[in-house]
Amino acid sequence: MNQNIVKMEYAVRGILPIRAMELARELKQGVKKPFDSIIFANIGDPHAMGQQPTTFFRQVVACCDYPELMNYNVFPNDVKRRASKLLSGIGGGGIGSYSDSQGPLKLREDVAQSISDGKHDCNPDDIFLCAGATDGIKSVLHLIDFGQGKDRTGVLTPIPQYPLYSATLTEMNLVQIKYYLDEDNAWAINVDSVHSIVQKAREKCTPRALVVINPGNPTGQCFSRRNVEDIVRYCSKEGLIIIADEVYQENIYAKGMQFHSFRKVANDIGLGPNDITIASFYSASKGYMGECGYRAGFMELYGLDPVVKNQFRKHRTANLCSSNAGQVIMNCIVNPPKPGDESYELFAKERENVLMSLTDKASKVSEAFNSIKGVKCNRIDGAMYAFPSITLPKRAIEAANSAKMAPDTFFCLDFLENTGICVVPGSGFGQREGTYHFRTTILPDTEKMQRFLVAFEDFYKKFVAKYTD
Amino acid sequence: MNQNIVKMEYAVRGILPIRAMELARELKQGVKKPFDSIIFANIGDPHAMGQQPTTFFRQVVACCDYPELMNYNVFPNDVKRRASKLLSGIGGGGIGSYSDSQGPLKLREDVAQSISDGKHDCNPDDIFLCAGATDGIKSVLHLIDFGQGKDRTGVLTPIPQYPLYSATLTEMNLVQIKYYLDEDNAWAINVDSVHSIVQKAREKCTPRALVVINPGNPTGQCFSRRNVEDIVRYCSKEGLIIIADEVYQENIYAKGMQFHSFRKVANDIGLGPNDITIASFYSASKGYMGECGYRAGFMELYGLDPVVKNQFRKHRTANLCSSNAGQVIMNCIVNPPKPGDESYELFAKERENVLMSLTDKASKVSEAFNSIKGVKCNRIDGAMYAFPSITLPKRAIEAANSAKMAPDTFFCLDFLENTGICVVPGSGFGQREGTYHFRTTILPDTEKMQRFLVAFEDFYKKFVAKYTD
């Protein structure tokens, strides 16, 4: 079998969640545990953690599934209007037909319009609808796969990173070139240090792209405008494609913080499609909507050579199309109800509730971690995660080594067994040698999150005491 | 960029449909043409050709999208029951959550039960839900990718074949080993000739798998039980994995013909999971349901080494999950309403209408082709396609060569320009050197199909006359 598949690792669904599922089964079977239920804080799945879907989105997709519903007095008129418009935009025989592989033009136009803001234009021809950002990112990485030996494609990925990147690079036999985010500086990117890494990497491969995740996963940072400018300038100069994972752009919590799109910042500093190539990714799974299960997303391929874009388009056709139900959801996201529409008020309330609750938890979580001696957590600017560093006693590290486990895996597993709380060890995302972290989502509801923080403090103190002479 | 992507070809969405779309746009702009509308007979997309969706499926999925609908008196009770059962089976927070990467256990159990028939058991652990058969097939081919030079994986594909196979093999840099279906013998597989091809291929690569498409695409054949047995025995002996594309198994039209599952036939002749590996694929897009736009399917991986299966499972987790809306549709397909259920009568009527209409068209289409001198068409046993051979005059072939086109592409393009009917040239699927074919679906409604056949006869005669001295 394919040895690249054997080599690939995907920690978010790795040993911790597998054990957590087993524990859940054991609980169901009546096995006694020091906890009553599992808190799955390992995966960014808002609805699984109790977040409610956005009514407007679901009404529109239900109406597209079964257009007969338009004849009943069940849905507001703007829902019916939107469903009719989408069914005609998808073309063919409705939602059950294949749609255009790139995404139906009408739907891409809506995406483009949501990106255009007067100062920055977006061309619907640059937009590709896809089955979640994962699908888009994998197919773009596949596109730039190239050459052998020193000509083998290298891709710069942040450390820590979302393991989709390392897993996909391994799977495709591309070279992962690691650059470190600066934990002491709010997880910013240091362009000078990226440059020396690129220089060194050129001895063994050809760096062709740089991945940025902003807001950050697992780090929860939001890059400053200045930082984004620096990166864009650097990549333009070095001819590196920017793979901009911007799926958390709706999730900004820190006061005064703002999301800066890599593509728009590039334009603002005078870089056009001939100066830089930026692939940006967006997803229905994150933001305030959290519609993971529909597998919907889009990418904007800005500045891509038209010949290459045509090849990419051809390549996408062999996948036929992404789910139309997902494309419907995506359309509602980029073009939500406007003030005056029948569904607006409810929509705005639902959206605000989710974002306010996340904002509230974001500050509480980092504060709680920072109040514990030995734990340090950067401010959660955005996304859905905290990535605190934890100090582990020397004897705990030895015990982990004896158990042939990364020390943070050893810690997280023990935490899970004692509290029923599932987080992901930092080693699954990468971290500076000798440091230890874990990633937790901030998605469990306020009460569960509180239970989490209390249990963590208690467990961590006992763990440290146990392994300290 | 990746040169394998440059090399790959995907005829079903190639030059013909692109030109047909342009013609549709020109018609809309009021440009005069010798026809009023385009008939897209190039792609197996039933709903786009006017086939109506199955009410029960759509009601269930709408109910899962917006569970509030269960409180209205809009849907029958069995729809509500099914939706509740599925929402609890998917787990998490309903259809908006990620579900298990392999497919939720409850849903896989329903799939397994639909395959089990008393004589043949199916293990839910062998079932993987996926985003249409395409997704499944690509990931299995990726799994068996292996080695360099003489150890490079070779995959036997029929000629003619569905271009997904050649495109994916090119993309993954695997060796396509072509074996010919026997047109004079109802497109059967000749195992002796396969064997000599395997022997010869071993000089330059390692054949590891054999693709079979049954019922056939583009050929519309249904293999005899005897033929299936021969293939299974041969693959078991030679250690070849069978990639059984069985997405058209519901579409059998010829009287007395029956679909034979490769896996079940293997069991019947005494071959178990230690004797043979068979990956079978099924899709929501075909059959009587034609739900292409939901991107739903499943695969059964029978006899796969457990270690490899675990690696495959891990690999699938990096895709998170397939669309839950699609999984809901798939569940309705494998577990449709039963006699006595509120929705049964309507369901049975809808299903029968579709299959009867296809059966009717299948015989009319092959008869009409065979009534034309110079055209020959095997009986359409199943699937959704006819693949007639056409005799082309020598001067037409020369004209095609001057135009740097395959002769059948030249013919199909001329047919399109004159009639507005879009079919796919045989060269896109592969054919014996010196023969020419095209593939048409039998999906246009009876009236359109009639218009097609009349227009074809007229055009073909004129075309032959024009290029005959």
Residue pLDDT, tens place only, A54-71? 999 999 999 999 999 999
Task: Give pLDDT tens digits for A191-234.
Answer: 999 999 999 999 999 999 999 999 999 999 999 999 999 999 99
Q: Say which residues have a Cβ less than 8 Å from residue B347's Cβ, sequence separation at least 6.
A: B54, B55, B56, B336, B337
Interval A347-363 mean pLDDT: 94
Check whether residue B248 and residue B310 sit in a common domain: yes
CA distance B136 to B326: 14
Whether residue B95 contacts residue A293, with contact meaning beta carbons closer than 8 Å, is answered with yes
Q: Give a yes or no: residue A443 inside a domain.
A: yes
- Please tell me the number of Cα atoms within 13 Å of A42 on its side-chain side: 31
Q: Say whether the ipTM exceeds 0.85.
A: yes
Helices (H) and strands (E) in chain B, counts: 16, 15
**pLDDT in the model for residue B447:** 92
CA distance B213 to B282: 11
Interchain pair A325, B43: CB under 8 A: no
**pLDDT in the model for residue B10:** 67
Q: Give a yes or no: residue A137 inside a domain.
A: yes
Higher pLDDT, A461 or B142: A461
CA distance A170 to B408: 42
**d(CA B66, nearest CA chain A) in Å:** 6
Instruction: Output the CA angle B364-B365-B367, nearest 5 degrees.
Output: 65
Helix (H, G, I), strand (E, B) or coil at A434: coil
Last residue of a domain, one of A334, A366, A401: A334
Residues in chain B, how many?
469
CA distance B372 to A254: 74
Neighbours of A398 (CB within 10 A): 12
> What's A69's DSSP letter?
G
**pLDDT in the model for residue A458:** 97
In one-letter notation, the amino acid at residue A37 is S
- pLDDT > 70: percent of chain B: 99
Whether residue B278 contacts residue B263, with contact meaning beta carbons closer than 8 Å, is answered with yes
- Please tell me the number of Cα atoms within 13 Å of A156 on its side-chain side: 33
Strands A421-422 and A39-40, sheet pairing? parallel
User: For the sheet containing A424-425, what is the strand order?
Assistant: A385-386, A438-441, A424-425
Interchain pair A47, B324: CB under 8 A: no
Check whether residue B291 and residue B355 sit in a common domain: no
Task: Give pLDDT tens digits for B242-254.
Answer: 999 999 999 999 8
Check whether residue B322 and residue B401 sit in a common domain: no
Interchain pair B59, A66: CB under 8 A: yes
Interval A252-264 mean pLDDT: 93
**pLDDT in the model for residue B171:** 84
**pLDDT in the model for residue A208:** 94
CA distance B145 to A334: 39
A to B CB pairs, distance under 8 Å: 222
Residue B318 has pLDDT above 80, yes or no: no
Check whether residue A380 and residue A236 sit in a common domain: no
Residue A145 has pLDDT above 80, yes or no: no
Using CA atoms, how far residue A211 sits from A236, A244, A246, in Å, is 14, 6, 11
Print the domain residue range for A87. Answer: 62-96
CA distance A20 to A417: 8
Check whether residue A248 and residue A178 sit in a common domain: yes
Check whether residue B131 and residue B254 sit in a common domain: yes
Task: Give pLDDT tens digits for B359-369.
Answer: 999 999 999 99
Check whether residue B172 and residue B38 sit in a common domain: no
Interval B10-34 mean pLDDT: 88
Check whether residue A221 and residue A298 sit in a common domain: yes
Whether residue A3 contacts residue A416, with contact meaning beta carbons closer than 8 Å, is answered with no
Using CA atoms, how far residue A91 sits from A88, B7, B285, in Å, is 5, 30, 17
Check whether residue B354 and residue B325 sit in a common domain: no
Interchain pair B47, A315: CB under 8 A: no
Q: Kindly report the CATH number assigned to the domain that includes residue B41.
A: 3.90.1150.10
**Please, which pLDDT band fits residue A7 given cuts at 50, 70 and 90?**
confident
Shortest CA distance from A46: residue in chain B: B97
Last residue of a domain, one of B307, B334, B361: B334
Whether residue A299 contacts residue A140, with contact meaning beta carbons closer than 8 Å, is answered with yes
| Token pair for B334 | 């494998």
Q: Give a yes or no: residue A346 inside a domain.
A: no
Sign of CA dihedral A275, A281, A287, A289: positive
Task: Give pLDDT tens digits for B431-446.
Answer: 999 999 999 999 999 9
B132 lies within 8 A of chain A by CB: yes
**pLDDT in the model for residue B145:** 75
> What's A424's DSSP letter?
E
Sign of CA dihedral B4, B7, B11, B16: positive
Interval A173-192 mean pLDDT: 95
Q: Say which residues have a Cβ less than 8 Å from residue A96's Cβ, sequence separation at least 6.
A: A324, B46, B47, B53, B290, B291, B292, B293, B294
In A190-316, beta strands by DSSP E: 206-213, 241-245, 278-283, 297-302
**Please, which pLDDT band fits residue A86 given cuts at 50, 70 and 90?**
very high
Shortest CA distance from B289: residue in chain A: A96
Identify which of A99, A131, A290 has the shortest CB distance to residue B131.
A131
Last residue of a domain, one of B334, B356, B382: B334
Strands B206-213 and B241-245, sheet pairing? parallel
Residue B82 has pLDDT above 90, yes or no: yes
Interval A283-308 mean pLDDT: 94
User: For the sheet containing B424-425, what is the strand order?
Assistant: B385-386, B438-441, B424-425
| Token pair for B121 | 């058991």
Neighbours of B232 (CB within 10 A): 26
**pLDDT in the model for residue A9:** 72
Q: Give a yes or no: residue B456 inside a domain.
A: yes
**Please, which pLDDT band fits residue B454 given cuts at 50, 70 and 90?**
very high
Chain B residues lying within 8 Å of A66, measured CB to CB:
58-59, 61-62
**Please, which pLDDT band fits residue A319 given cuts at 50, 70 and 90?**
confident
Task: Give pLDDT tens digits for B169-204.
Answer: 988 889 999 999 999 999 999 999 999 999 999 999
Task: Give pLDDT tens digits for A92-125.
Answer: 789 999 988 899 999 999 999 999 999 999 999 9
Task: Give pLDDT tens digits for A151-161.
Answer: 899 999 999 99
Q: Give a yes or no: residue A129 inside a domain.
A: yes
Q: Could you please report the per-residue DSSP string of A70-130?
A: GGSTTS-HHHHHHHHHHHHHH-TTGGGS---TT--HHHHHHHHHHH--SSS---GGGEEEE
In one-letter notation, the amino acid at residue A121 is D
**pLDDT in the model for residue B149:** 81
Interval B61-70 mean pLDDT: 96
CA distance B125 to B302: 10
Mean pLDDT of chain B: 93
| Number of separate domains in chain B | 2
**pLDDT in the model for residue A443:** 94
Task: Give pLDDT tens digits for B376-410.
Answer: 999 999 999 999 999 999 999 999 999 999 999 99
Q: Say which residues have a Cβ less than 8 Å from residue B302's Cβ, sequence separation at least 6.
A: B126, B263, B266, B273, B276, B277, B278, B279, B280
- Cβ burial of B467 (10 Å; 0-12, 13-18, 19+) is middle
Residue A360 has pLDDT above 80, yes or no: yes
In a mutational test of the A interface, the residue from B3, B4, B9, B13 whose CB has the highest number of chain A CBs within 10 Å is: B13
Chain A residues lying within 8 Å of B49, measured CB to CB:
93
Check whether residue B173 and residue B302 sit in a common domain: yes
Interchain pair B61, A325: CB under 8 A: yes
Task: Give pLDDT tens digits for A368-390.
Answer: 999 999 999 999 999 999 999 99
Spatial CA neighbour of B139 closest among B311, B305, B5: B311
Q: Kindly report the CATH number assigned to the domain that includes residue A112.
A: 3.40.640.10
Chain A residues lying within 8 Å of B61, measured CB to CB:
65-66, 325
CA distance B298 to A4: 24
Residue B7 has pLDDT above 90, yes or no: no
Instruction: Output the CA angle A73-A77-A82, nearest 5 degrees.
Output: 125
Residue A11 has pLDDT above 70, yes or no: no
Interchain pair A98, B317: CB under 8 A: no
Using CA atoms, how far residue B390 sits from A24, A32, A377, B159, B408, in Å, is 63, 73, 72, 17, 9
Q: Say which residues have a Cβ less than 8 Å from residue B25's Cβ, sequence separation at least 6.
A: none
Shortest CA distance from B50: residue in chain A: A93
Check whether residue A297 and residue A420 sit in a common domain: no
| Token pair for A435 | 């440091």
Q: Give a yes or no: residue B183 inside a domain.
A: yes
Interchain pair A293, B59: CB under 8 A: no
Interval A140-144 mean pLDDT: 88
**pLDDT in the model for residue A13:** 65
Task: Give pLDDT tens digits for A336-346.
Answer: 999 999 999 99
| Token pair for A402 | 């004896």
Q: Give a yes or no: residue A141 inside a domain.
A: yes
Q: Give a yes or no: residue B339 inside a domain.
A: no
**pLDDT in the model for residue B317:** 83
Mean pLDDT of chain A: 93
Binding-face residues of A in 271-290 toward B, CB within 8 A: 285, 290
Check whether residue A151 and residue A87 sit in a common domain: no
